[in-house]
Structure formats: structure tokens, C-alpha cells
Amino acid sequence: MHDVSQRCRAEKNYENMLAPSQNKSNSDSRFSSREEKALHRLVRVYNGLRFCAGTKSFSFLFMPQKTLPRGMQSRLMQSAKKVLKNAHAPYSRFRVGATILLSNGKLFSGCNVENASYGMTTCAERTAIFSAVAQLGPKIEIRAVAVVNDHGVPCAPCGACRQVIYEFGPDAVIFFQGAHGPRQAHITELLPEGFRLQ
């Protein structure tokens, strides 16, 4: 495992390289050969975003931070909780609600709709997204997604929903119940190798 101070210095120099200050010399924003080798081993790139490899999982490195309006996360969660009551879940008895925030500020909600032919079941996240597309067309851009369930257990979007979220929101942030409490994750953290045909 590389020395932490060496890694931090390399990361700082990388940030300087991305946005060099006029007051800094070129030498200040360059890697030493040792730092360059350290970053080469630590950093992987998915969809143009850099991730730093930890001992157990990937954590974000140099991820641009986008903030939501004050109180928006709470509003999204409350909206998702409200709509989950409409879920059609007679087979699993597991109700899920989701609300998405679009770049234009509009919210759309959805719940899971099960079917006797289990493969025909639609998740809450996709229901919300498809509702937005039906009303506004395919040029929507998802900024955030909130997902809740009526059992209070860990419940991240499934793989299919992650790919659909990525289709309309490659920079979306997801709020959901994790194994150790509420979690927030960028869609590329949940789906590191999502694809789009655009």
C-alpha cells in the first residue's frame, strides 16, 4: 500500500495540473516520477471520471461536487415515501417509491408495479423516469434520484434501473438506504461501466 502522504501529495499535484494558478510555476504542477507511478496504480478511469482504488472499494477522486437546492434531498425523500403507498406489490409485499429531480427543477415520482409474470414487473425508479419521458419527451436530464421502501432495509437501485438512470442522467446523484444508514452515491459509482449509444 502506498504511503498516504505520498498519495495525498500526488492528488494535490494532479488538481494543480487540472487548474494551474498563474502564480505557480510549471514545476509546481508536475508529478515526480515516483508520484506518477503511484497514481498510475491508484487511479482508474470510467466514463471520463477518475476513481481511486481503496483496499475494499472504489472511492471518488477529483469528482466535481454539484449541490442541490437547500432542502431538496428531504423533499425528494418525502415525495418518494408518499408515492410508495400506491405500489402494486401483492407478490413480494415490498413497496418501493422513487422520485427524480430533473435539470429543469421538475419532480416525477413512481412506485413498483408487479405482475403475476414476474419478469414484467417494473421498478419504482423506471416508473418515475418513464413518466417524465412520457410527459416531457426524451431530452430530459436527471439530476437526482431518491429511493425508499416500506421495510426500512437497504435498497439501492437494481442493475436495470442504474442503466436507465445513466441513460438520462450520467451525472445524477442517488439517495437510498444503505447497509449502514442513508447513503448518497454518484450514478457512476453504482454503475462504473454504464454505456450510452450517443
Question: What is d(CA 141, CA 102) in angstroms, rounded to the nearest whole number?
Answer: 6
| pLDDT at 59 (0 to 100) | 41
Query: Among 11, 35, 114, 125, which one carries the catalytic annotation?
Result: 125
User: For 58-72, 92-106, 127-141, 164-178, which range has the lowest pLDDT when averaged over its residues?
Assistant: 58-72
User: For 35-44, 54-63, 127-136, which range has the lowest pLDDT when averaged over its residues?
Assistant: 54-63
- Residue 125 known to be catalytic: yes
- pTM value is 0.70
Looking at 43-136, list the stretches that DSSP marks H as alpha helix, in order from N- to C-terminal side: 72-83, 124-136
Q: What is the DSSP letter of 103?
A: T
Confidence of residue 67 (pLDDT cuts 50, 70, 90): confident
Instruction: List Cβ<8 Å contacts ≥24 apart for 172-175.
Output: 172/142, 172/143, 172/144, 172/145, 173/66, 173/68, 173/143, 173/144, 173/145, 174/144, 174/145, 174/146, 174/147, 175/73, 175/76, 175/77, 175/144, 175/145, 175/146, 175/147
pLDDT surpasses 90 at 105: yes
Fill in the amino acid letter for 153.
V
